[in-house]
A and B are shown apart, each in its own frame.
Chain A
């Protein structure tokens, strides 16, 4: 990449906006995924009894089962949220930057 291209992109206001938005967004989502997963793992390690509690009195299904399914669904949901926003907002910003500098 040419040095003048680097400074052109770097000083583009939309570029700063893109970096700020995407960095915050991807770290927040990573943090959410890690809290959900490691929260679940710590429950497994520290409070097995909680996970073995029935979801309703008389039910055989324990809290652990819907909780595990929720962890799986949340992984899918979070990738969906990121893809949707990145393919929309972030790609729009990128396109505008590219149009301006090229």
Chain B
């Protein structure tokens, strides 16, 4: 029955997609590209392939464990690729190569910040998560603490992070697809929302994982080809690449060193802290460690993921410089060549470069990959958000753990659909807003609320329920508050006068993380309740399981 429904939806979707594409042809808005046929073909190929996988995964997704963690049978290498697929968003592919194209070296500084969180995740939380948790990071945070308050707190932290990230992805998706495929913005957003609901509700973590793996491979292959073609253009000499880029770029040799990205040391450190520890607090990333069988595979996942992500960032740097050579000199890629306005805006150099090195076919390929990238990221996010709702809020807070698996899975699927619809609505609402700051805000919240609670619950024996609950919320509220009264939202988004923001730092992580950690500490040590004694007494057994994995779930093989 379920398979029939899925097929029905699949056919309807493919049909409506072709109708939509047909309708897109004669909509001649200034911003939109002409319809790119090879892009659409490759995109349809990707969609039908991944829906096929979803169909396959749906038959293997029977239990809650299957749904949340793909049965725990993913290998370290597969999980490493899936993590890379989850993490290399369109924002990092198009955004970083765009930043390199515009400012050169600053793009490298940003990408390094995005990478260095991974070793910290490996050394501090990866295997600990695997040994203590089941489906969500709240399992770990609430292992010995009061279930209701800690799961509520962790679910809030997760949902805020997921929603902020999701809005940024949806708006990015809408704008990108509008450009690449010539579709209306709202149609593009609805298409992304519907596909993601299909992957997650029917295929759960297994389908999500494979969508991420396929996307990671496509993106790495595409980016490798682009970087190779760029290097071939300059006779495989970096000296030649940089010499030509400096001669062409209007900032000349300023692109070879740090520019305006980081202005003062405090902001620099704060940006770094937010990126580094934010990565270690992203619920959709943390969730991936429950998909492998044991600590060994969890470690391997991070090792492979770090390799793929690091390699990818080196490629984007080459791609950005390649675009300076091959895109910035060709008026065909500009809507206004004299003013330096690229067709589609500042995030498009990598897309135009794809055309410059590989023609229409390769442009189609990269466009389809960019869309696939967004789909893979939003699916992971939605699954993490839905798990927070069904596993933490519904099963453990609302029903106090007295719930059968089938019911929990039903709630999870309903939560997925609700989150998908919410994402579509928010995506349409935020169309005209500048949402770039939302990714950084998501990282800041993750670093200030999720990470401190998770980290201290693993390592600090004197942590109490009260401390984690109050402190976690203080971290969350401080992070949100400081971004809102900071220059990015106060001045750039709300439109108040320059310099009028009550808080003058763009990157508040250093303050909000400190607020989170200190208040968790303070409200724990001053806690002398009976609950606190229970919390502290529970640490020893937790620590032994955490260190050795004794008592942790074994894998179920597929």
User: Which residues of A pack against B, CB within 8 Å?
Assistant: 1, 3, 5-6, 9-10, 15, 18-19, 22, 26-27, 29-30, 33-34, 37-38, 40-42, 44-46, 48-49, 51-52, 59-62, 64-65, 68-69, 71-73, 75-76, 78-80, 82-83, 86-87, 91, 94, 97-98, 101-102
A-B contact pairs, 24 of them (CB 8 A): A10-B540, A15-B547, A30-B119, A30-B124, A42-B268, A45-B264, A48-B258, A62-B105, A62-B256, A64-B256, A65-B105, A65-B108, A65-B256, A72-B310, A76-B306, A76-B310, A79-B118, A79-B122, A83-B299, A86-B296, A86-B299, A87-B299, A91-B295, A94-B548
- From A19, A46, A61, A87, B242 is in contact (CB under 8 Å) with A61
Q: Give A64 Cβ to nearest chain B Cβ, in Å.
A: 5
Determine whether B63 belongs to the interface, using a CB cutoff of 8 Å to chain A. no
Q: Give A18 Cβ to nearest chain B Cβ, in Å.
A: 7
Whole-angstrom CA separation of A98 from B268 in the bound complex:
45
Chain B neighbourhood of A1, CB < 8 A: 541, 544-545, 550-551
Whole-angstrom CA separation of A10 from B67 in the bound complex:
35
Nearest chain A residue, comparing its CB with the CB of B300:
A83
Q: Other than the known A19-B547, A65-B256, A86-B299, what 12 A-B pairs have Cβ atoms closer than 8 Å? A: A3-B541, A6-B541, A18-B548, A33-B120, A37-B276, A62-B256, A68-B109, A75-B115, A83-B299, A83-B300, A97-B548, A98-B548
User: Which residues of B pack against A, CB within 8 Å?
Assistant: 105, 108-109, 111-113, 115-116, 118-120, 122-124, 127, 238-239, 242-243, 246, 253, 256-258, 262, 264-265, 268-269, 271-272, 276, 295-296, 299-300, 302-303, 306-307, 310, 313-314, 540-541, 544-545, 547-551
Contact A5 B550 (CB under 8 A): yes
> Which of A49, A59, A86: most chain B CB closer than 10 A?
A86
Chain A neighbourhood of B296, CB < 8 A: 86-87, 91
- From B246, B253, B262, B272, A38 is in contact (CB under 8 Å) with B272
Chain A neighbourhood of B303, CB < 8 A: 79-80, 82-83
Q: Give B295 Cβ to nearest chain A Cβ, in Å.
A: 7
Whole-angstrom CA separation of A9 from B551 in the bound complex:
12
Q: Give B98 Cβ to nearest chain A Cβ, in Å.
A: 18
Chain A neighbourhood of B272, CB < 8 A: 37-38, 41
Contact A29 B119 (CB under 8 A): yes
- From A27, A62, A69, A83, B302 is in contact (CB under 8 Å) with A83
Chain B neighbourhood of A59, CB < 8 A: 239
Interface of chain A, main secondary structure: helix
> Which of A6, A15, A68, A98: most chain B CB closer than 10 A?
A68
Contact B551 A48 (CB under 8 A): no
Chain A neighbourhood of B124, CB < 8 A: 26, 30
Q: Give A33 Cβ to nearest chain B Cβ, in Å.
A: 5
Q: Give A38 Cβ to nearest chain B Cβ, in Å.
A: 6
Chain B neighbourhood of A86, CB < 8 A: 127, 295-296, 299
Whole-angstrom CA separation of A102 from B105 in the bound complex:
55
Q: Give A39 Cβ to nearest chain B Cβ, in Å.
A: 11
- From B105, B127, B265, A42 is in contact (CB under 8 Å) with B265
Contact A69 B119 (CB under 8 A): no
Contacts A29-B119, A86-B299 given; does A41 touch B548 at CB 8 Å: no
Contact A60 B300 (CB under 8 A): no
Q: Give A77 Cβ to nearest chain B Cβ, in Å.
A: 9
Whole-angstrom CA separation of A30 from B277 in the bound complex:
12
Whole-angstrom CA separation of A87 from B294 in the bound complex:
11
Whole-angstrom CA separation of A98 from B544 in the bound complex:
11
Contacts A48-B258, A52-B256, A62-B256 given; does A40 touch B112 at CB 8 Å: yes
Whole-angstrom CA separation of A72 from B109 in the bound complex:
10
Contact A75 B310 (CB under 8 A): yes
7 nearest CB pairs, A to B: A52-B257, A45-B265, A45-B268, A26-B123, A83-B303, A83-B299, A68-B108
- From B109, B246, B265, B548, A60 is in contact (CB under 8 Å) with B246
Chain A neighbourhood of B548, CB < 8 A: 9, 15, 18, 94, 97-98
Contacts A79-B118, A79-B303 given; does A38 touch B269 at CB 8 Å: yes
Chain B neighbourhood of A72, CB < 8 A: 111-112, 115, 310, 313-314
Contacts A6-B540, A91-B295 given; does A64 touch B122 at CB 8 Å: no
Nearest chain A residue, comparing its CB with the CB of B244:
A60
Q: Give A61 Cβ to nearest chain B Cβ, in Å.
A: 6
Contact A75 B550 (CB under 8 A): no
Chain A neighbourhood of B258, CB < 8 A: 44, 48, 51-52, 64
- From A22, A41, A69, B314 is in contact (CB under 8 Å) with A69
Contact B243 A60 (CB under 8 A): yes
Contacts A45-B265, A82-B299, A87-B296 given; does A30 touch B123 at CB 8 Å: yes
Whole-angstrom CA separation of A79 from B303 in the bound complex:
5
Whole-angstrom CA separation of A97 from B551 in the bound complex:
13
Contact A82 B256 (CB under 8 A): no
Q: Give A49 Cβ to nearest chain B Cβ, in Å.
A: 8
Contact A60 B262 (CB under 8 A): no
Nearest chain B residue, comparing its CB with the CB of A101:
B550
Whole-angstrom CA separation of A86 from B302 in the bound complex:
13
Q: Give B329 Cβ to nearest chain A Cβ, in Å.
A: 18
Contact B257 A78 (CB under 8 A): no
